[in-house]
Chain A
């Protein structure tokens, strides 16, 4: 993406705040023109102070009164300008942050699974922050800078066109310096921002898994790797900072040149009698004010650059392909009978290797389908496809005769209650977590669900019962307890179909029996899919699918499969073979 289009896109986010923007522009015009009018008044006053015994106090007094009002009004509008730009910036940045976050919720699983989370978080936290800094400073200063330049030129031309012309002639020098610097620092900033993301991803990975790092005495190696990335960050950091910090002294130098030229030429004109000393004073102030915006704009180049490369990274995220959208014709399926049919389904995570090929399966309403098979045989993949976490490459999956690709994703997913092996709870109370799928659940419903999931007893033992806060990552309760909460969460929603993907593998068998009973109760009459290693939990399934390498190699109920003396039989008996 080109820089100009990044800028354009950034600016388009300010559209909802047009009124603020208008207010800011008006404030800027008033405050800047009054600020610029000040030196003229000062110049006029100085002209009235000619020398010893030649001072016109009355007129000076009048001018100073006007000057006083000018200052007061000008500073008032400076204040409104600053408030308005802050508000615009913060609101805009908030919108961008929200847009980026909302985007996460639409990204395909492939993106989320294959990108370092630290890197994505860094986009939403650090990059947005950088855009905010750049935008705040850039917006205010670019904007006021431009107005100042234009108005100063107008005022100068009105006093002395020739001197104004001299000033204008020096302008390209300012622009040249500014563009030279930005060209050199731009590349370095991109590099810096990229390396920073890499570093942040690395920290996330290492600190998030401190236990493993400790257990394997990996600390030193990890520190060394960190240092390596960090030293690369140093290299590009020094370069980018140096280049961008050239801006200030260079423009100050140009400023000095303008100041000197105005002083020299102004004095010569005064000698010739064309302008007054007050005019020179006024011009000198302008000379400072005129180059100041260039100074400032190049001064914020550093921040603007960072903001640009950050904005680019954010827009890249926003431009990622979303999950397939629902079509307008997509059906919102509220209820279902529970007939499911896979026909000729093919799927692969990466193009080189087909995982599932020509998969066919018919499930009758109310059946319990157990899926077993060695690890890597594609069990979880079937769930991913059924929930449309990943889209199939070819073939169809139908629920009650409707292809799932014709359903809205939300309604499809609402048809299933899912319990996964990896437990996920969020920072909030236990109550919040159980009612995750049904925000308006009553207290009784929540407790009832917890009881069904055998979670009630341990919850009551916690210091604050249902109001106990689950800390980040749920480190204050055990893995098994977390799983019970995840089960309670599904129990509460009472979905028409169930998917249990190793749902009880981190729970002890005594509790499991209890939960299994609860599952059996809610599975009654509902189509359910169970993935399990413990074959004990699937004995009663109506159909057991034995998967291997993405293919069904055996199919039937427990007894049928045992009598086939095939792979299932082998699997089943191996759990009793102890040696």
Chain B
């Protein structure tokens, strides 16, 4: 929990001054019983009404001063605790943004949300309590003991026996509840997971009329949570009665032994009342302390959940030193050239186009014996892949479900690091680039049709804030979206729902393509990005892409449709994680069985009717 305290740095003033003001109030509060003892002892003995009134007035003054000090403290605590929470939330969110998928998968989005919101709230509350009560409550307890000692040292020994017993009770109960608080948090995560699944799968759930089962599943999770909550509630229910018993029995002791002390003449009646008052004050203070312990126990569970995020660093280690100077020829470049030469000696798969390039042009993208598995020790999703893509080429990647197409794309954008082998862009190892530089080069159209809440313009500008209206218009035109966007009542300013739910699948897909185009990428990657389009739109779009991008962009198209990639300069055929062959459509058709099989399967289906 201490680690998280670093976020309080900007609020030193409040954190230090707040408790001091609270302390002043507490000191006044401790004086009150003594004044009251005097009122009773002196006032009654001397029958002095004006003295009583004078002291009563003093009590009110003390109250007012105490109130003002307290208000200052509350103000400070609000500023410091909310400020602290705000800082932690900002830092958390920024930190999560450095995560790669691996880490996000590990936590899960719902858990990250509860951590940013609920756990930080818990911490925020703890900070407020820290400022308001952590000094005040123990001070009142200890102060009351000291005041009692001043009144009568021997009688105050009762306090010294009582206090440790109470502390022991508090400690044992708290210690036992901590594990429950942790498991409650996990169960809460589960609740939010099921809720989210139900929202996302609403069509399937209702299509199967499975609402009842889902309700039962939620009910189990909910039961689980509330049972734990009740268990921990029962445990902490012991706290108040036990402390009450201990304190009141010590009041009994005070009266008995106090009686003896009065009998001997060491103590007055008024002082005895003050003693009882201090005892009550200790009780109140210790109850506050015990509540504080609960708050801090919860907070420490929350702190460790928050720290878990801070301590997780991205598995992708970024080169954050200066931007890469691309004119600088380093070993990697030489190595790349070496590889070219060795490839030339043993041409694996070549066609005229690339062999022409080999001698003098640096490949745009190169994979050198790349293998990859999502989890250590698992079967490789990609195995020993090597190939080169030259600038301005259009590359098709084809292969069955699970053949590793999307994985390959993920590696180019460095969403994951290769388990083995190296990947180069423009002759430099990917790991030499700052991540943002790689991603600036790449325009990605992902498989998932994700758009964000905001206007169409905002969505197209997503990767390139500077995109002008013309840029946007051009991107929309190439992506065959102008037609439907223009028809919308609000045109470019049409607001989209979260995830773009107010558009059809095909419309969303075209906007995701426009979004990538608006970045003017050097490398455009289309990951199965025509799947939601009908063939007519698909063809038009590809034609527009070809015309618009032929001069400066390297295009990679992942698809399952032969028609989509048939005219690519090179086609990579993947099967079960292996690169089976590279070549043009004609080459492959003649020599690659798998390619031929895919081709025939589609053509058989498509031509049969004719």
- Chain B at the A interface: mostly helix, strand, loop or mixed? helix
Q: Do B62 and A219 touch across chains, with their CB atoms under 8 A apart?
A: no
Binary per-residue interface labels of chain B (499-523) against chain A in the complex, 1 for a CB within 8 Å, 0 otherwise? 1011111110110000100010000
Q: Do B255 and A64 touch across chains, with their CB atoms under 8 A apart?
A: yes
Say if the beta carbon of B580 comes within 8 Å of chain A.
Answer: no
Query: In the complex, given contacts A50-B269, A79-B237, A215-B415, what are 12 additional A-B residue pairs having Cβ atoms less than 8 angstroms apart?
Result: A212-B462, A215-B463, A250-B67, A256-B63, A259-B59, A267-B44, A374-B536, A414-B208, A472-B110, A472-B197, A513-B605, A534-B535
- Residue from A52, A199, A472 within 8 A of B193 (CB atoms): A472
Q: Do B211 and A52 touch across chains, with their CB atoms under 8 A apart?
A: no
Of residues 27 through 73 on chain B, the ones whose CB sits less than 8 Å from some CB of chain A are 32, 36, 39-40, 43-44, 47, 49, 52-53, 55-56, 59-60, 62-64, 66-67, 70-71
Chosen A-B contacts, 27 in total, with CB atoms closer than 8 Å, are A55-B262, A61-B256, A71-B244, A83-B237, A117-B196, A129-B118, A210-B99, A219-B97, A231-B86, A245-B132, A246-B74, A249-B25, A252-B67, A256-B60, A267-B44, A271-B43, A285-B276, A288-B280, A375-B507, A376-B507, A436-B204, A475-B101, A478-B401, A480-B400, A506-B531, A510-B597, A537-B605
Q: Do A410 and B209 touch across chains, with their CB atoms under 8 A apart?
A: yes
Say if the beta carbon of B82 comes within 8 Å of chain A.
Answer: yes
Say if the beta carbon of A162 comes within 8 Å of chain B.
Answer: no
Chain A nearest Cβ from B234, distance in angstroms:
5
Q: Do A375 and B533 touch across chains, with their CB atoms under 8 A apart?
A: yes
Query: In the bound complex, how far is the Cα of B206 from the Cα of A420, in angstroms?
Result: 13
Given contacts A87-B233, A271-B47, contact A57 B259 (CB under 8 A): yes
Q: Do B248 and A38 touch across chains, with their CB atoms under 8 A apart?
A: yes
Chain A nearest Cβ from B517, distance in angstroms:
12
Say if the beta carbon of A173 comes within 8 Å of chain B.
Answer: no
Interface residues on B, range: 35 or more
Binary per-residue interface labels of chain A (477-508) against chain B in the complex, 1 for a CB within 8 Å, 0 otherwise? 01111011010000001000000001001111
Of residues 71 through 108 on chain B, the ones whose CB sits less than 8 Å from some CB of chain A are 71, 74-75, 77-79, 81-83, 85-86, 89-90, 93-94, 96-101, 104-105, 108
A-B residue pair count with CB separations less than 8 angstroms: 524
Q: Do B71 and A249 touch across chains, with their CB atoms under 8 A apart?
A: yes
- Residue from B40, B256, B535 within 8 A of A280 (CB atoms): B40
Query: In the bound complex, how far is the Cα of B78 from the Cα of A1, in angstroms?
Result: 29
Query: In the bound complex, how far is the Cα of B400 from the Cα of A508, in angstroms?
Result: 5
Of residues 553 through 597 on chain B, the ones whose CB sits less than 8 Å from some CB of chain A are 560-563, 566-567, 597
Q: Do A264 and B56 touch across chains, with their CB atoms under 8 A apart?
A: yes
Say if the beta carbon of A315 comes within 8 Å of chain B.
Answer: no
Say if the beta carbon of A311 comes within 8 Å of chain B.
Answer: no
- Residue from B117, B440, B528, B601 within 8 A of A217 (CB atoms): B440
Query: In the bound complex, how far is the Cα of B53 from the Cα of A579, in angstroms?
Result: 102
Chain B nearest Cβ from A539, distance in angstroms:
4
Which of A10-18, A96-104, A359-367 is near enough to bind chain B?
A96-104
Given contacts A68-B249, A121-B110, A200-B117, contact A105 B211 (CB under 8 A): yes
Q: Do A439 and B213 touch across chains, with their CB atoms under 8 A apart?
A: yes
- Residue from B47, B53, B539 within 8 A of A578 (CB atoms): B539
Q: Do A241 and B537 touch across chains, with their CB atoms under 8 A apart?
A: no
Given contacts A285-B280, A481-B401, contact A212 B229 (CB under 8 A): no
Chain B residue contacts of A267, Cβ below 8 A: 39-40, 43-44, 52
Say if the beta carbon of A263 comes within 8 Å of chain B.
Answer: yes
Chain B residue contacts of A349, Cβ below 8 A: 502
Of residues 236 through 272 on chain A, the ones whose CB sits less than 8 Å from some CB of chain B are 237-239, 241-242, 245-246, 248-250, 252-253, 256-257, 259-261, 263-264, 267-268, 270-271
Query: In the bound complex, how far is the Cα of B497 from the Cα of A261, in angstroms?
Result: 62
